[in-house]
Amino acid sequence: MSPSEIIRIPILPFNIVNAHLIKSGAGCILVDAGIPGSERKIARILSRHGLSFKDIKLIIVTHAHTDHAGSAACLRQLSGAPILAHKDDADFYSRKQPMTFCPTGRVGRLFLKTPLPHQPYEGFVPDIRMKDGDSVKLQDFGVDGIVRHTGGHTPGSIAVELSSQDALVGDLVASGILIGGIAFTGHAIRPPFEDNPRVVASELKRMVEAGAKRFHMGHGGPLAAAEVMRHARSLSNITQSPATACHCAHPAHSTASNQSGNGRSANHL
């Protein structure tokens, strides 16, 4: 299998919001779909690399926030590619449940008061639906890598790990200032929202220990493994008293999480 190339798609300038393409000899995989109306920006980057919508073989949506899932339904129509996503965010994708947010601090709380995180998008049902701790190998799509359920940021967050030691992790970690990007993009920060920092910490540590060297993210980045490890260690030290813990409700997922018993999709702090 020929080595794949990671191409960043700037959905907003200064790395504030990114999607990515994994380009291989067989075409490409789109990781995240940007905010609603991102299709023209994505088309421009595709054509700059000699590709078109028809070369997209798979659309991986890392989680249900509008800046990642916003244009997925439209891009599926334009490309004919299936959407891969996790069942634990499915009710958000289909718009059955309103999205819930656990702010990580002042920036997240302020951001939540703006219309941006609540921007509605066309609902969809993923064609390939991961459940619990499922993983999906990407060989059939021409890429040597795997998609795993990583939870932590939202109940159904997933991440892509490639044999090239690149990891595409959505919002498992961000870098920069404010909501991410702009400046200091080599410095890891928590994204504005995060359900469970401990789950995030253990997933990031696992990926670094498994050999991931470069982390590509939705906000800011890319980050080197050592910085991701530093961030993961500081996340594991967060102690949440009942007063500061986030009580974001994910009613559709609490039962599934309890039943699965693996704790990976636990999202109530």
Give the interface with Zn ion as residue ranges (CB under 5 A): 65, 67, 171, 218
Q: How far is the CB of 2 from Zn ion (least distance, A)?
A: 30
Question: How far, in Å, CA of 238 to CA of 225, rounded?
Answer: 20
| Nearer residue to Zn ion within complex by CB, 57 or 99 | 99
Question: How far, in Å, CA of 254 to CA of 258, rounded?
Answer: 6
C-beta neighbour count of 265 within 10 angstroms: 30
Q: How far is the CB of 67 from Zn ion (least distance, A)?
A: 4
Q: Are 85 and 93 in contact (CB under 8 A)?
A: yes
Q: How far is the CB of 46 from Zn ion (least distance, A)?
A: 21
| Nearer residue to Zn ion within complex by CB, 88 or 171 | 171
| Nearer residue to Zn ion within complex by CB, 142 or 159 | 159
| Nearer residue to Zn ion within complex by CB, 1 or 249 | 249
Q: How far is the CB of 58 from Zn ion (least distance, A)?
A: 20
| Residue of 184, 136, 155, 167 whose CA lies nearest to 260 | 155
Q: Cα-flanking dihedrals φ and ψ of residue 266, to 5°? A: -60, 135
Q: How far is the CB of 180 from Zn ion (least distance, A)?
A: 8
| Nearer residue to Zn ion within complex by CB, 27 or 126 | 126
C-beta neighbour count of 137 within 10 angstroms: 11
Instruction: Note the maximum CA span of the chain.
Output: 53
Residue for token digits 């078109």? 52
